Structure 1
Amino acid sequence: MKTNYFDLINQTFYFPQEEFTLNKDNLQFHGIDLMKLVEEYGTPLKFTYLPKISQNINRAKMWFRNSMEKHGYEAKYYYCYCTKSSHFEFILNEALKNNIHIETSSAFDINIVEKLMENGKINKNTFVVCNGFKRGKYVENIARIINNGHKNTIPVIDNFEELDLLQEQIEGKFKIGIRIAAEEEPKFEFYTSRLGIGYKDIVPFYRKQIQENKKVELKMLHFFINTGIRDTAYYWNELLKCMKVYIALKKECPSLDSLNIGGGFPIKSSLAFDYDYEYMIDEILNQIKIACDDAEIDVPHIFTEFGSYTVGESGGAVYQVLYQKKQNDRENWNMIDSSFITTLPDTWAINKRFVMLAVNRWNDTYERVLLGGLTCDSDDYYNSEQHMNAVYLPKYNKEKPLYIGFFNTGAYQETIGGFGGLHHCILPQPKHILIDKDKNGIIATEIFSEEQQAEDVLNILGYNKNKE
């Protein structure tokens, strides 16, 4: 009779998988023995596996290149990284090794871009695509980098007033894009995205504010669906509506030559994840080419803005199960040495799923559990709502410590959780390490940030202001 944790995983999913293997009864992630990390650094522990970033970027570039060759798609592909997914320097440094471009969403993003320019990480050929609602400091910063000579900065117009605000501060001619306000799926609480300009308003807006404007060159139409790039009738319908706008605009605006299809590639959220990236890329380019050929116009250059896809699968967190609370006849609460609300806020805020596996004791018998965090908040838990099904782990044994890992957590969790700041119940921020491999496959680790200390929190709260 097969009753151990390994058998459960092996019978439920295809295992091992590309990134997950076993060393005896300990889990390995991309060949890294996680128990060795625990022994060296302790828990709770956050980590970033840098090579995964480059791997995902180059896979996407290969898929686009292959599809363009297949369809005779005579235009270029530009991979942009959506910085809001993770702004850390170590993320940008790794991503920019791969000849990519940048997408920004707020004022301070531009300050990061300027630092990258100073350090030679990006150059005049790097596109900086500026999305988001623009006022005040964001407009000022965009104008500054354009005025300082970075002509491949493309502010994407989000509303009717932005163009005037930009023109007031930008010297000379500059490039722009226009964002389409896509219609959302029927299940949404709103019908149309708050971002961008409505389908029917884009051509009139071009005629009124851009067509005779010698200071502005329209280069890009931006299209993004909130639910991401998925093989649904809704997505394909919105893409075709986008192409109708692009074609109508292109026939009046010869300078328009680029279509930005935004981001939205999903990442692995369970061991059962199944998504055909190659098919989706191939069919998107096929639909764009068919529409352009029928209209007798050139196909556009393609821009994407992949954020979660770029960094999500590089991140992980490891916790220790401190204790098991039996609250009734059926519920066993495994209490971790951190908090889901503070370290994986999307599990709490939007019931987001991450890959969750035991790190050790794979040869032990298992049990059904609920996972609880250390805060006093009743919502600080992880259960079947987030996990897609019941949570099973090796049976709790106070004599045999159990460690669990959450994987593909690299996008958004640090910024939403407030890295370096205050956290719910002032629980400390975990230690964060970076993991890299050299060309010979030798693993190297370094500490990016230590676990937060009481003095760090007291300083933020003002208790040490008058300290001598």
Structure 2
Amino acid sequence: MRTKYIDLIDQTFDFPQDEFNLVEDRLMFHGIDLMRLVEKYGTPLKFNYLPQISHNIQRAKGWFRETMNNIGYQGAYHYSYCTKSSHFSFVMDEVMKNDVHIETSSAFDIDIVKKLNEQGKLKDGQFVICNGFKPPKYIDNIAGLIEEDKLRVIPIVDNTQEVQDLLAKTDKDIHIGIRIASEEEPKFEFYTSRLGIRYREIVPFYKAILENNPRVKVKMLHFFINTGINDNSYYWNELTKCLRVYCDLKKVCPTLDSLNIGGGFPIKQSLAFDYDYAYMVREILMQIKRVCSDNDIPEPNIFTEFGSFTVGESGGAIFRVLHQKQQNDREKWNMIDSSFMTNLPDTWAINKRFIMLPINRWNEDYERVLLGGLTCDSDDYYNSEQHANAIYLPRFDRNDPLYIGFFNTGAYQETVGGFGGLKHCLIPEPRHVLIQRDQEGKIHTEIFSEEQTANDFLKILGY
């Protein structure tokens, strides 16, 4: 009988895959021996494989470039990175190697933009797309960036008042975008996004407030789908409505020349992941080109805002199975040396799925288990609700520790989990390691941050 863990994977998935393969019974990730990483740095451990960031940016640029050339698309393509996915300097440094633009979401984002510009990583003339609802501090910072007149700043107005607020804070003319309040997918708890201006109100808003204001030029229509770019009727229906508004607005607004198809590409959540990125790019651009031709208007420049797609597949976390508890006839709990709620919070908050694989012992028999975290909270677990199916791992052996890895965790987990701050039950932030390659392709690792200590927590708590 084929009862080894490697047999299970071979029977269930195509394996090895581009980023995963085995050497003996040890898992390799992009050619990195993860057990060596564990032996050097211990667990729990978080890491970022930085070359994957540039790799994904260049993949997307290539899909758009090739499709535009093949179909004769006349507009330009601009890749922008959503800083909210991960604000870390090591992420931004890698992102900015690739001649991309920035999308911001809040006031302090602008301070990061200024720092990048001062350091020469964000070049003069690059775009800064300012999204989100804009409280006074965010308005002030955007106006300050416009006043510096180095970067091409495009505030995406979320409501009609924001234009007046910006004009009151700067004497310069401003270029703006307008965000569409798209309809949410049918299963959502409400019908229309809380962000943006409703479809039917955009052209009247332009005619009433913007058309005769010489200080404002509308350059962009911003279309965002919360579920991301997916090949389903919901996405195509919303894109069709967006293009209808773009054409109507372009006919009365000659300065409009760009369409921002916000909402990112999905990333790999299991070994069975199957998504044809090139096909989706071609279908989107073909639809835009066709609608513009039918309406006799020029094809817009295309902006994308990819956050999770940019940084998600660079991240990972490794835990050790400390103990196994047989709680009833059917349920075995493998307890890890960290917490899902605090260090992979999306598994708890939204049942987010990540790729989960053992790091070692692939040639041993497997068993079905549940995974439990260290906090006292009953929600601190990872099971088939979060995972793509039941969880199978090599059998627990107290004399031969099992290590498990969660992959493609690079977006949002640190910011949602509160990096460097208090954690539920005072579970510490793991040690965080950066992985890079030199020009010869050799792997280099360095510690970005150490595991939190008791003194770190005591200081925050005021002791």
Same fold at TM > 0.5: yes
* Runs of 4+ in structure 1 over 4 Å off: none
Aligned partners of 2:227 and 2:263 also within 8 Å: no
Aligned partners of 1:151 and 1:174 also within 8 Å: no
Query: Following the alignment from structure 1 to structure 2, what is the Cα–Cα distance between the partners of residues 63 and 402?
Result: 40
Query: Following the alignment from structure 2 to structure 1, what is the Cα–Cα distance between the partners of residues 213 and 397?
Result: 72
1:379-418 correspondence to structure 2 within 5 Å: 379-418=379-418
Structure 2 partner of 1:466: none
Structure 2 partner of 1:117: 117
3-state DSSP class of the match of 1:389? coil
* Counterpart residue type for residue 42 of structure 1: G
Aligned partners of 1:220 and 1:259 also within 8 Å: yes
Report how far residue 428 of structure 1 moved.
0.7
Query: Following the alignment from structure 1 to structure 2, what is the Cα–Cα distance between the partners of residues 96 and 348?
Result: 32
1:432-443 correspondence to structure 2 within 5 Å: 432-443=432-443
Aligned partners of 2:128 and 2:151 also within 8 Å: no
Aligned residues: 463
3-state DSSP class of the match of 1:371? strand
1:146-161 correspondence to structure 2 within 5 Å: 146-161=146-161
* Counterpart residue type for residue 274 of structure 2: D
Query: Following the alignment from structure 1 to structure 2, what is the Cα–Cα distance between the partners of residues 206 and 226?
Result: 25
Report how far residue 277 of structure 1 moved.
0.5
Structure 2 partner of 1:6: 6
* Counterpart residue type for residue 360 of structure 2: N
Structure 2 partner of 1:100: 100
Report how far residue 150 of structure 1 moved.
3.0
* Counterpart residue type for residue 133 of structure 2: F
* Counterpart residue type for residue 12 of structure 1: T
Query: Following the alignment from structure 1 to structure 2, what is the Cα–Cα distance between the partners of residues 355 and 441?
Result: 25
3-state DSSP class of the match of 1:75? coil
3-state DSSP class of the match of 2:273? coil
Structure 2 partner of 1:219: 219
Query: Following the alignment from structure 1 to structure 2, what is the Cα–Cα distance between the partners of residues 148 and 379?
Result: 48
Q: Cα deviation per residue 1:46-79 (whole Å; 9 max; x = unaligned)?
A: 0000000000000000000001011100111000
Query: Following the alignment from structure 2 to structure 1, what is the Cα–Cα distance between the partners of residues 391 and 333?
Result: 11
Structure 1 partner of 2:263: 263
Q: Cα deviation per residue 1:178-216 (whole Å; 9 max; x = unaligned)?
A: 000001111111111111000000000001111010111
- Structure 2's unaligned 5+ residue stretches are none
Query: Following the alignment from structure 1 to structure 2, what is the Cα–Cα distance between the partners of residues 122 and 56?
Result: 19
Structure 1 partner of 2:134: 134
Aligned partners of 2:323 and 2:336 also within 8 Å: yes
Query: Following the alignment from structure 1 to structure 2, what is the Cα–Cα distance between the partners of residues 41 and 236?
Result: 46
**2:23 matched to 1:23?**
yes
Structure 2 partner of 1:292: 292
Report how far residue 347 of structure 1 moved.
0.1
1:68-467 correspondence to structure 2 within 5 Å: 68-463=68-463
* Counterpart residue type for residue 281 of structure 2: I
3-state DSSP class of the match of 1:368? strand
3-state DSSP class of the match of 1:161? helix
* Counterpart residue type for residue 30 of structure 1: H
3-state DSSP class of the match of 2:224? coil
Aligned partners of 2:146 and 2:172 also within 8 Å: no
Q: Give the TM-score of the pair, scaled to structure 1.
A: 0.98
3-state DSSP class of the match of 2:73? coil
Aligned partners of 1:19 and 1:31 also within 8 Å: yes
3-state DSSP class of the match of 1:115? helix
Query: Following the alignment from structure 2 to structure 1, what is the Cα–Cα distance between the partners of residues 240 and 345?
Result: 35
Query: Following the alignment from structure 2 to structure 1, what is the Cα–Cα distance between the partners of residues 299 and 211?
Result: 21
Q: Give the TM-score of the pair, scaled to structure 2.
A: 0.99
Query: Following the alignment from structure 2 to structure 1, what is the Cα–Cα distance between the partners of residues 316 and 185?
Result: 31
RMSD over aligned Cα atoms: 0.6
Report how far residue 264 of structure 1 moved.
2.1
Aligned partners of 2:126 and 2:151 also within 8 Å: no
Q: Cα deviation per residue 1:260-307 (whole Å; 9 max; x = unaligned)?
A: 001221000000001110000000000000000111110000000000
Aligned partners of 2:228 and 2:264 also within 8 Å: yes
3-state DSSP class of the match of 1:207? helix
Report how far residue 439 of structure 1 moved.
2.4
Structure 1 partner of 2:32: 32
Aligned partners of 1:324 and 1:335 also within 8 Å: yes
Query: Following the alignment from structure 2 to structure 1, what is the Cα–Cα distance between the partners of residues 443 and 251?
Result: 54
Query: Following the alignment from structure 1 to structure 2, what is the Cα–Cα distance between the partners of residues 170 and 153?
Result: 13
Query: Following the alignment from structure 2 to structure 1, what is the Cα–Cα distance between the partners of residues 6 and 82?
Result: 37
Report how far residue 376 of structure 1 moved.
0.4
Report how far residue 151 of structure 1 moved.
4.7
Query: Following the alignment from structure 1 to structure 2, what is the Cα–Cα distance between the partners of residues 183 and 241?
Result: 10
Q: Cα deviation per residue 1:403-450 (whole Å; 9 max; x = unaligned)?
A: 000000000000000001000001110000000112221000000000
Aligned partners of 2:128 and 2:153 also within 8 Å: yes
Query: Following the alignment from structure 2 to structure 1, what is the Cα–Cα distance between the partners of residues 449 and 432?
Result: 5
Aligned partners of 2:226 and 2:263 also within 8 Å: no
**2:62 matched to 1:62?**
yes
Query: Following the alignment from structure 1 to structure 2, what is the Cα–Cα distance between the partners of residues 239 and 95?
Result: 28
Aligned partners of 1:104 and 1:129 also within 8 Å: yes
3-state DSSP class of the match of 2:385? helix
Aligned partners of 2:123 and 2:151 also within 8 Å: no
Query: Following the alignment from structure 1 to structure 2, what is the Cα–Cα distance between the partners of residues 238 and 277?
Result: 19
* Counterpart residue type for residue 332 of structure 1: K
Report how far residue 227 of structure 1 moved.
1.1
3-state DSSP class of the match of 1:341? helix
